[in-house]
Structure 1
Amino acid sequence: MAMVLFVPQTHAASASGDEVINFAKKYLGTPYQWSGETPDGFDCSGYTYYVMENFGVDLPRGSYDQYEQGTYVSASNLQKGDLVFFSGTYKDGISHVGIYIGNGEMISSTKSSGVAIDPVFSGYWGDKYTGAKRFLNTSFFSDVSTDFWAYDEIKHLNEEGIINGLPDGSFGPNDNVSRAQVAKMAIESLNLTPSSSGQFNDVPSSHWAYEYINAAVKAGLVNGYGNGEFKPDEDITRAEIAAIVTRAFELSGNSSSYSFEDMNSSHWAYDEVYALASNSITTGYNDNTFRPNEEATRAEFSAFLYRALD
């Protein structure tokens, strides 16, 4: 998924989508008023104008003019705080605008209900949806706060286009990371060319990570199973990630300065885990364990990858 570019700073604000939505929801139930742009009454563009102005976004007044501004966002990449536009309500062309709040819903000022929450892609508005524009300078994720332990690592990889979030604007840092996701991120980080040469009977060409998995296998970063399967959607363990990162960056090291209580020389990933430790990519947990067989999270893999790239 390509990174989304943002409008110039003269039009953008650095507020988060959640901040905008929380402010917008204060006016739920406010009556509709033609040409209204105050809490006494709003029309649709007057409402978006009022809300976004509170965060320093300089919007034009009408819905059509607002649609002419901002940065285009596809429906699959909508984030909280994006403006969503509709055509053919009371006239041809752009005639309604709302603020996307996640989960396929928007908040907007409507003639029938005043400021209300409605679905974007179904019901009355579904067949009138025209497009979306982004005005907030929020290239980051709604569920990764600045005090999150892997904030810097996730932010850097996102800015480099190596990792992406979910359609609702979140990253899912504590979700487990799959073998397919790791293959894609490894290929992206090494700038390797995706491959169309199929390898596994459980990874059809229609799978979103098909070419990344093929390339990762070709580069010797990952392996399949003896039965011709790759199990792309299976969660990956910390030991498996240690092996992939070690191969990808040709790391080496010894265990003389480290001692993980749950790692001994008989473990298949012993050398790889200690290679990560020797290169300051991991320090394990506070109880002196590495937990090699524990499923890795998206944040953990991001941290490993960032440190290997650094």
Structure 2
Amino acid sequence: MKKHKHFLAFTTSAALLVPIVAPVTTVAEGFPDIEGSSHEEAINALVKEGVINGYPDGTFKPNKTLSRSDVVKMMGKWLVTLGFQVPADYKSKPRFNDLTPSSNEELLKYAALVKDNGVFIGTPDANLHAEGEITRENMAMVIVRAYDAIHGTNLINHVAQSSFNKDVKDRGQAKAEARPYIDVLDFYDITNPASPAFHPKNTTTRGQFASFLYKTSNIVDEAKSEPRQESEPRQEPEPRQDEPAQETMPIPGQTPTSEPSPVPPVIEEDFEITSIE
């Protein structure tokens, strides 16, 4: 069965995307370092809507790697602009063991928000590892979980009940809990159908994130009308020896129990997010 390609026009979903990344500089004619890139359309669409901008030197740096802290702050501010509230005890009760009340204010706020809403859970040892890089499999999990939290959907259940031709051939290289999330990206062609290797263990770049975000935010599907259902409890993954322990992701539809920034940034100051007043 063919995949579903249900997407809204970008202008329709721009309200969801505006808070994702704050502009650093305005570029009217595009970025010279994204011409011909597979991410060019997504980046330009986000720039046109004022969602994301480049660096002061006029470049976008699509190959720059995202950190776990970057993602926490991005997703946290996205949720805030959509009506989610930062927990009042974000400072007195840091959500991760490697954060303290004296940690960066912005990171504390959004770490609490994304943790409490099940968007970003942390490692099995309850740490954030803010400086660590985020893998493609974990980015897939965070984005799908955020979409579900915002829309009250359960994309994993919906896709699991659908028959479609899978393009991703290296799904088996991903940790078990990430595979259903990768299936969601595959189902909606958020992954590149022409490139069967998803490379789940690789890091995530700015360009990749732009494409993931642009496509995922434009999903329109009957899954939105399906009631959320409780799924099996998530399993905590074992940290890999060759990279920082990775965050675990609850199954979409499950009530969040535990998959990004208004004060000084911590990791990537020129890739920050600005909330809409």
Matched, 1:181 2:79: no
Choose the corresponding residue for 1:283, options 166, 187, 192: 192
User: When the two structures are superposed, what TM-score results if normalisation uses the length of structure 1?
Assistant: 0.49
Partner of 1:122: none
Matched, 1:148 2:37: yes
Partner of 1:172: 61
Matched, 1:302 2:200: no
CA distance in 1, matches of 2:67, 2:128: 11
Structure 2 spans left out of the alignment, 5+ residues = 1-18, 149-154, 219-277
The correspondence of residues 214-233 of structure 1 with structure 2, limited to 5 A, is 214-233=112-131
Q: What is the percentage of aligned positions where both structures have the same residue?
A: 26
Name which of structure 1's ranges 251-260 and 297-306 shifts more when overlaid on structure 2.
Answer: 251-260
More helix by share: 2
Partner of 1:268: 177
By how many angstroms is 1:162 displaced?
Answer: 4.3
Name which of structure 1's ranges 233-242 and 254-263 shifts more when overlaid on structure 2.
Answer: 254-263
The answer on whether the counterparts of 1:242 and 1:273 sit within 8 Å (CA) in structure 2 is yes
The answer on whether the counterparts of 2:115 and 2:121 sit within 8 Å (CA) in structure 1 is yes
By how many angstroms is 1:164 displaced?
Answer: 4.7
The answer on whether the counterparts of 2:138 and 2:178 sit within 8 Å (CA) in structure 1 is yes
The answer on whether the counterparts of 1:203 and 1:232 sit within 8 Å (CA) in structure 2 is no
The answer on whether the counterparts of 2:136 and 2:204 sit within 8 Å (CA) in structure 1 is yes
The answer on whether the counterparts of 2:171 and 2:179 sit within 8 Å (CA) in structure 1 is yes
Calculate the aligned-residue CA RMSD, in Å: 3.1
The structure with higher relative contact order (CA 8 Å, sep 6+) is: 2
The correspondence of residues 209-248 of structure 1 with structure 2, limited to 5 A, is 209-248=107-146
Structure 1 spans left out of the alignment, 5+ residues = 5-76, 80-136
SS in 2 for 1:280: coil
User: When the two structures are superposed, what TM-score results if normalisation uses the length of structure 2?
Assistant: 0.54
By how many angstroms is 1:242 displaced?
Answer: 1.1
Matched, 1:200 2:96: yes
CA distance in 2, matches of 1:240, 1:157: 22
CA distance in 2, matches of 1:145, 1:158: 12
Partner of 1:32: none
